[in-house]
C-alpha cells in the first residue's frame, strides 16, 4: 500500500503536466474506441449473418432480376427448408437525405427466414392481411415518429411514382446485433402495379433467400441451385448470407483499412506524448534516484517506480476514455444511424483500449527507466540543487 501511495503521489506531483497528459490519453482512447467501433459497425451485417441462410442472385449483378418461377424449383432441391424472396425498392421518404433501406418482400415467409426480427402476433397478422401494409424497424420508427396506423409515402426511383403504405407493425431486434432500421412491404403490391404499368418487369424478384436444414448442407445446396439454372437466361450465384454481406463490405475495403490505420496512428502519437512526459519526470528526479541508490534501493526498485508512475497515468486516461466512449458512441450512432444501423461498442474494443494503454504506459517508461538505472550515484548527486 505504501508503494501505491508513493506512486500516486509521484504521478500527480506536477499536477498541470500530468492532467494534460491524462487528458491527451483520454482523447486518444476515446478516438481509438470510436474508430474501432466504426470498423465493427462496418462489419456488423457480416457478423450478424445466419449460417442457415443462402442468398441466390443473378450471376451478372444484383441489379438484374430473377424470374419468380425459380421459387418452386429451388424449393424442390434436397436440403432446402424454406424459401423467401425480396426486391430492393429504393424509395425515398420526403427527401434524399432520409435514407431508408426499403424492400418488397414475400410477406408470408419473410419473418420465417428472419426470426431475429420480432413482431407481435397481432402486428404480424395485420401485416399479412393488408396488401398495402408495411413494417418498419424500431429505430427508424422512433427517428421519424411513426406510429401504428400511420400512412407512409415513399417516392419511387427504380419503380416511379408515389407509393402509399400503412404502418401495421414495428419490429424489434431479438439480438443486440439485429438491424432495426429496415422497411418491408408486400412484394405482391409492387407486382400488381408492375403488371398494369410495366408488364415486362412483373413476376421478377431481386434475390431469393434460402433456408437450409443444416449449415453443413449449405455448400451442397448452393451448388445444386446454381447447377439447376446453369445455361438459362438468368443464371444464378448462390452464396452464404455472410459471403453476400462481405461482398458489399469489400467494395469499401480501402476506407476500412484507412480507418484502422488512423486508429493506430492515434495511439502512436499519444505514446510519443506520454514518453515525453515520463522523460521530463525522470530527468527532474535524477537526484532522488541517486539518493535511493545510496540507501540501498536496487535497479529494479527504481525501474519499478518509473514504470508504475507511467502505467498509473496511462490507465487513468484509459479509464476516463472508456467512460466517455459509451455516451459518445450512442450520440454518434444516433446521428449516423442512416449509415451505421448497428453501432455498439464491442467488448473487444474495450480490451483493445486497455491493451493500448498498457503498451503506451510500458513503452513510454522504457527509456527513462533505462537512463535512471544506468546513471551512476555520483552523476546523480551532482544534479541536486
pTM: 0.74
Distance, CA of 347 to chain centre: 12
User: What are the grid coordinates assigned to 222, written together?
Assistant: 448452393
Q: pLDDT (tens digit, 0 to 9) for every residue of the chain, 385 residues total?
A: 567 777 777 777 778 888 888 899 999 999 999 988 888 877 776 666 778 899 999 999 888 999 999 999 999 999 999 999 999 999 999 888 888 899 999 999 999 888 889 999 999 999 999 999 999 999 999 999 999 999 999 999 899 899 999 999 999 988 887 888 899 999 999 999 999 888 888 999 999 999 999 888 899 999 999 999 998 889 999 998 888 887 767 766 777 788 888 888 888 888 888 888 888 877 777 777 777 777 777 777 878 888 888 888 899 999 999 999 999 888 887 777 767 777 788 888 899 999 999 999 888 888 888 887 777 777 666 665 4
CB 87 within 8 A of CB 187: yes
Q: Which residue has the cell 510519443?
A: 272
Residue spans of the domains in the chain: they are 2-44+253-383, 60-234
Alpha helices by DSSP H, the chain: 2-11, 15-42, 44-47, 70-75, 110-113, 121-128, 138-144, 187-197, 218-228, 241-250, 253-284, 286-294, 299-335, 347-374, 377-382
Amino acid at each position: 500500500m505504501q508503494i501505491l501511495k508513493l506512486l500516486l503521489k509521484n504521478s500527480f506531483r506536477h499536477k498541470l503536466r500530468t492532467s494534460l497528459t491524462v487528458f491527451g490519453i483520454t482523447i486518444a482512447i476515446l478516438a481509438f474506441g470510436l474508430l474501432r467501433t466504426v470498423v465493427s459497425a462496418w462489419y456488423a451485417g457480416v457478423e450478424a449473418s445466419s449460417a442457415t441462410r443462402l442468398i441466390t442472385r443473378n450471376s451478372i449483378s444484383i441489379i438484374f432480376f430473377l424470374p419468380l418461377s425459380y421459387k418452386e424449383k429451388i424449393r424442390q432441391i434436397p436440403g432446402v427448408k424454406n424459401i423467401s424472396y425480396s426486391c430492393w425498392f429504393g424509395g425515398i421518404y420526403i427527401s434524399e437525405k432520409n435514407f431508408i433501406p426499403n424492400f418488397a418482400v414475400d410477406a408470408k415467409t419473410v419473418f420465417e427466414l428472419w426470426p431475429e426480427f420480432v413482431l407481435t402476433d397481432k402486428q404480424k397478422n395485420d401485416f399479412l392481411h393488408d396488401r398495402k401494409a408495411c413494417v418498419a424497424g424500431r429505430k427508424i420508427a422512433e427517428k421519424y415518429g411513426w406510429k401504428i396506423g400511420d400512412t407512409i409515402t415513399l417516392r419511387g426511383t427504380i419503380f416511379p411514382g408515389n407509393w402509399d403504405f400503412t404502418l401495421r407493425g414495428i419490429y424489434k431486434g431479438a439480438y443486440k446485433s439485429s438491424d432495426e432500421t429496415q422497411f418491408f412491404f408486400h412484394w405482391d403490391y409492387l407486382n400488381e402495379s408492375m403488371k398494369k404499368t410495366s408488364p415486362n418487369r412483373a413476376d421478377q424478384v431481386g434475390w431469393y433467400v434460402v433456408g437450409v436444414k443444416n449449415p453443413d448442407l449449405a455448400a451442397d445446396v448452393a451448388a445444386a441451385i446454381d447447377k439447376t439454372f446453369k445455361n438459362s437466361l438468368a443464371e444464378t450465384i448462390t452464396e452464404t448470407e455472410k459471403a453476400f454481406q462481405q461482398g458489399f463490405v469489400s467494395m469499401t475495403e480501402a476506407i476500412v483499412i484507412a480507418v484502422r490505420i488512423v486508429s493506430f496512428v492515434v495511439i502512436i502519437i499519444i505514446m510519443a506524448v506520454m514518453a515525453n512526459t515520463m522523460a521530463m519526470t525522470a530527468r527532474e528526479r535524477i537526484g532522488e534516484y541517486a539518493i535511493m541508490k545510496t540507501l540501498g534501493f536496487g535497479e529494479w526498485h527504481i525501474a519499478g517506480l518509473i514504470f508504475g508512475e507511467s502505467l498509473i497515468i496511462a490507465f487513468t486516461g484509459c479509464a476516463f476514455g472508456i467512460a466517455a466512449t459509451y455516451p459518445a458512441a450512442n450520440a454518434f450512432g444516433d446521428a449516423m444511424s442512416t449509415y451505421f444501423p448497428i453501432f455498439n461498442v464491442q467488448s473487444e474494443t474495450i480490451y483493445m483500449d486497455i491493451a493500448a494503454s498498457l503498451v503506451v504506459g510500458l513503452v513510454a517508461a522504457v527509456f527513462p527507466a533505462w537512463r535512471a538505472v544506468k546513471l551512476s550515484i555520483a552523476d546523480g548527486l551532482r544534479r541536486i540543487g
